[in-house]
Amino acid sequence: VPKTTRTVPSGSREFERIAWLSQLFAKQPRPASVMLGIGDDAAIVKTGRNHWVWTVDACVQGVHFDWRWLSPIEVGWRSFHAAVSDVAAMGASPLAALCSLALPKDVQGKVFRGIAQGQARAARSLGCAIIGGNLTRASEVSVHTTVLGATTRPICRAGARIADEIWVFGNLGAAAAGLIVAQRKTLEQQTLAERWCARQWRRPTALIRAGRSLRKAAHAAIDVSDGLVADLGHVADASCLRAVIDAEALDQALDTRLHKAARALDRTALEFALFGGEDYALIAAGPARRRPDGARAIGQFEKGSGVWLQTATGRQRLSPAGFDHFR
Amino acid sequence: VPKTTRTVPSGSREFERIAWLSQLFAKQPRPASVMLGIGDDAAIVKTGRNHWVWTVDACVQGVHFDWRWLSPIEVGWRSFHAAVSDVAAMGASPLAALCSLALPKDVQGKVFRGIAQGQARAARSLGCAIIGGNLTRASEVSVHTTVLGATTRPICRAGARIADEIWVFGNLGAAAAGLIVAQRKTLEQQTLAERWCARQWRRPTALIRAGRSLRKAAHAAIDVSDGLVADLGHVADASCLRAVIDAEALDQALDTRLHKAARALDRTALEFALFGGEDYALIAAGPARRRPDGARAIGQFEKGSGVWLQTATGRQRLSPAGFDHFR
């Protein structure tokens, strides 16, 4: 499965650099109101009874997007939803955003306007106003989006408990299949199922309502930007547990359109769901009795470590086999 | 005076683009807690009795810095102080920051570590912890820094009143002189005065304490990133007034080391102070009776528009003659 996403496999240079930064910045004195630092989807700042959840996310030409496959409006839309998704994954409602936009000197006006219109549409769709930002020259287009959200109870990556179910919201795998479809076929050549997948990839949606439903239910949560195995692995690692995916339950949780599109691409829907990125689906850990509406259980947490796949014939440990920005 | 800064002259493409963005994003529904949108140094979000001040600032290789003149540690330091300066200019104390760092694939480890160490030192020096961020690949180095600050009373660009004094904190002009010194002379060739100027440019300081002293005193404030004339012009425009700089008072407010260095460069200190950027000095408007300790009065506001220079022989209107990213 081709990846344009940002998995950070342990042992990789990016992983090591983040760990190094985390140590460096941890040495600083920190106000008591700051509850969580580096290593989660977002930082948390306590203010009165509320918690503010704060994230920054980047979307860079040639790394996160390619003008051959995405329009400026889609780049604006995706970059905004991707940033808000980090806030949604912590159970927070987005309040407002700032956008720092870098543009080449000779960028066309319609590219600039398209990106901004995509951001504005995304902001409206999510009820998250863009209240400021920065505009600078650069040699390539990049969009850095910072989002503030609020919640009474932030949900982190750490905190999953033994026997918690693994919950999924959203369409795992569809974006990864949609990326291949968009690269290989014109709109006219695409089946309805393929078009749906391509649309999931072009126009992802940050799952704010799903994230909010987790506040009283989940012990841990994350959004799937790098693939289920990679991101579920972060929850398992942070919670010091093993995540066991039930292959049949996962397969049944996937959209029939993904199954159809995968067959046409000589792949399986499961493969896309496990390793494909840019879903902006949410995964969470919580007790079965509290499973929220709309969540599908696809496995559970147990003692141990790593992410495993349970099939009718046995169990195997999965590796994210991700894409490392710096390799 | 050579500029590496980011003045946005009216009528320029960048200015028009910001105006266009401001209109586009203003159409969104906005929560009642959001008090100020695009067009000031930072956005304001009200939370209880406090106001949070929130900014994002970018520092891009080849646009804001050049490896010939600055080390990675200095780039980290400057980018951080520049972002915090926006918060200081609104009278707020910085709480925390997120840093979104973009690095080329083949960037050396020492460049990455240097930038981060510069950020960490700056964060410690300002009591503003870095609590998260983002790391991405890109074709050039860029640092996007978002800062949250808190204040009981945010000070905006608009609000200066007739007969308010123009106050200055910090070393106007020294950074612009220091940039030329750094480009033309090795450390050994520099006089003490020139070294001091170069250091002001390499290691600017966000004036948090000065900003805080404005809370009960000033009607309007801004930080000088693009030169006194440009930034004072923003206050004058936003306040619908004319700012009149007293040439003699300004000249006396400048450091003697700047006067010395300027003479050696065949320039005047006044020139550097009026048109040089990257000072991160603060300017504010307020009544004489409330002038805070450490503020120097360099003129006053009156009816009219624009920025004017009053000398013994008369008055002239000044134009920022700034640097436009997109021209």
The predicted-structure confidence for B88-118, as pLDDT tens digits, reads as follows 999 999 999 999 999 999 998 899 999 999 9
- Rounded distance between C-alpha atoms, residue B56 and residue B74, angstroms: 19
Contact A25/B120, CB-based, under 8 Å?
yes
Q: Kindly tell me the burial class for residue A186, based on how many C-beta atoms sit within 10 Å of its own C-beta (0-12, 13-18, 19 or more).
A: exposed
How far A49 CA sits from the closest chain B CA (Å)? 10
Residue of A nearest to B127 (CA): A29
pLDDT for A212-267, tens place per residue? 999 999 999 999 998 999 999 999 999 999 999 999 999 999 999 999 999 999 99
Contact indicator for A301, A310 with CB cutoff of 8 Å: no
Q: Which of B56, B84, B85 to substitute to test the interface with A, most A CBs within 10 Å?
A: B56
Per-residue pLDDT at B36: 64
Contacts of B131 in chain A (CB under 8 A): 25, 30, 34, 36-38, 43, 45, 54
pLDDT, residue B7, reads 44
In this prediction, residues A145-159 reach a mean pLDDT of 93
**Which of B135, B140, B151 is most worth mutating to test chain A (most A CB atoms within 10 A of its CB)?**
B135
pLDDT at residue A325, rounded to an integer: 34
Q: What interhelical angle do B192-202 and B72-88 show, nearest 10?
A: 70
Q: DSSP letters of A28-68?
A: S---TTEEE-TTSSSEEEEETTEEEEEEEEEEEBTTTB-TT
Q: Do B20 and A116 touch (CB under 8 A)?
A: yes
Average pLDDT over residues B254-259: 97
Q: What is the largest CA-CA distance in chain B?
A: 58
Confidence of residue B20 (pLDDT cuts 50, 70, 90): confident
| Digit-coded pLDDT (tens) for B210-252 | 999 999 999 999 999 989 999 999 999 999 999 999 999 999 9
Q: Do residue B55 and residue A98 have CB atoms under 8 angstroms apart? A: yes
**pLDDT higher at B85 or A226:** B85
pLDDT at res. A180:
95
- DSSP bridge pairs for A317: A308
CA distances from B249 to A286, B130, B310 (A): 67, 39, 10
User: What values do phi and psi take at A223, rounded to 5?
Assistant: -100, 155
For B24, the closest of A55, A117, A131 (CB atoms) is A117
Please state the rounded mean pLDDT for residues A111-119. Answer: 95
One-character DSSP codes across A257-271: HHHHHHHHTTS-HHH
Closest by Cβ to A137, choosing from B60, B131, B137: B60
Task: Please indicate whether, in this complex, the C-beta atoms of A102 and B58 are within 8 angstroms of each other.
Answer: yes
Q: For residue A38, what is the nearest residue in chain B, using CA coordinates?
A: B132
Inter-chain CB proximity B123 and A56 less than 8 Å = no
Q: Which two tokens stand for residue B199?
A: 């250091």
Provide the mean pLDDT of chain B: 90
List CB contacts of A308: < 8 A, sequence separation 6 or more.
A242, A243, A244, A245, A315, A316, A317, A318
Residue of chain A whose alpha carbon sits nearest to that of B128: A30
pLDDT tier, A313 (very low <50, low <70, confident <90, very high otherwise): very high
> Taking CB atoms and an 8 Å cutoff, what residues of chain B touch A27?
120
Rounded to an integer, the average pLDDT of A149-156 is: 92
ipTM here: 0.89
**Facing residue for A130 by CB, picked from B28, B50, B100:** B28
CB contact under 8 A, A48 and B48: yes
Residue A7: which pLDDT band, with cuts at 50, 70 and 90? very low
Confidence of residue A22 (pLDDT cuts 50, 70, 90): confident
Whether the per-residue pLDDT at B1 is higher than 70: the answer is no
User: What confidence tens digit (pLDDT) does each residue in A36-82 have?
Assistant: 666 677 889 887 778 899 999 999 999 999 999 999 999 999 999 99
Q: With 0-12 CB in 10 A as exposed, 13-18 as middle and 19+ as buried, what is B82?
A: buried
The Cα–Cα gap between A59 and A75 comes to 8
A212 CA: distance to closest CA in chain B (Å) = 18
Choose between A34 and B270: higher pLDDT.
Answer: B270
**% of residues, chain B, pLDDT over 90:** 77
B173 pLDDT band, cuts 50/70/90, is: very high
Chain B residues with CB-CB distance to A103 below 8 A: 326
> Is B133 close to A38, i.e. CB distance below 8 A?
yes
A9: which DSSP letter? -
What residue in A sits closest to B122 (Cα-Cα)?
A28
What is the pLDDT, as a whole number, of residue A277?
86
Q: How far is B314 from chain A (nearest CA, A)?
A: 38
Q: CB–CB of B274/B318 below 8 Å? A: yes
The closest CB to that of A56, out of B100, B105, B120, belongs to B100
pLDDT of residue B15 exceeding 80, the answer is no
> Would you state the pLDDT for residue A265?
92
Partner residue opposite A138 with nearest CB, options B24, B50, B142: B142
Buried b (16+ CB within 10 A) or exposed e, A156-174: bbbbbeeebbbbbbbbbbb
Q: Are B58 and A132 in contact (CB < 8 Å)?
A: no
Interface test with A, best of B106, B110, B130 (most A CBs within 10 A): B130
**A6 contacts in B (CB within 8 Å)?**
136
CA distance A267 to chain B (A): 29
Identity of the residue in A43, A135, A140 whose CB atom sits nearest the CB atom of B138:
A140
How many CB atoms neighbour CB A53 within 10 A? Answer: 31
Q: How many CB pairs under 8 A join A and B?
A: 223
Produce one character per residue of B287-325: b if its CB has 16 or more CB atoms within 10 Å, e if not: eeeebbeebbbbbbbeeeebbbbbeeeeeeebebebbbb
Query: Residue by residue, what is the 3-state secondary structure of A129-187?
Result: EEEEEEEEECCCCEEEEEEEEEECCCCCCCCCCCCCEEEEECCCCHHHHHHHHHHHCCH
Nearest residue to B225 via CA among B252, B253, B206, B250: B206
Higher-pLDDT residue of B13 and B290 is: B290
Which residues in B lie closer than 8 A to residue A325 (C-beta atoms)? 105, 135-137
C-beta atoms of B14 and A112 within 8 A: no
Going by pLDDT thresholds of 50, 70 and 90, the confidence category of residue A324 is very low
- Side by side, the strands of the sheet bearing A43-47 are A34-36, A43-47, A50-60, A142-151, A93-103, A129-137
**Which residue type occupies B135?**
L
Contact (CB<8Å) B25/A62:
no
Task: Determine the distance from the C-alpha atom of residue B34 to the mean position of all C-alpha atoms in its chain, rounded to a whole number.
Answer: 23
Position A3 scores a pLDDT of: 31
Helix (H) or strand (E) holding B45: strand B43-47
Q: For residue B6, what pLDDT is reported?
A: 43
Task: Please indicate whether, in this complex, the C-beta atoms of A326 and B64 are within 8 angstroms of each other.
Answer: no
pLDDT at residue number B325 = 34
Question: In terms of Cα–Cα distance, which of B249, B168, B132 is closest to A40?
Answer: B132
Closest-CA distance, A282 to chain B, in angstroms, reads 20
Question: In chain A, how many H helices and how many E strands?
Answer: 10, 13
- Per the rule left: phi > 0, alpha: psi between -120 and 50, beta: everything else, B321 is left
Under an 8 A CB cutoff, do B25 and A123 touch?
yes
CA A111 → CA A73, A74, B38, B41, B200, distances in Å? 8, 11, 21, 26, 38
Q: Which amino acid is at A96?
A: A
In this model, does residue B141 exceed pLDDT 60?
yes
Contact state of A33 with B57 under an 8 Å Cβ cutoff: no
Residue A82's contacts (CB-CB under 8 Å, 6 or more residues apart) are: A57, A59, A145, A204, A206, A225, A278, A280
Q: Which one is predicted more confidently, B138 or A324?
A: B138
* Residue A201 C-alpha, separation from nearest chain B C-alpha, in angstroms: 20
Q: Place B268 in a pLDDT band, splitting at 50, 70 and 90.
A: very high
Q: Stretch B306-314: mean pLDDT, rounded?
A: 95
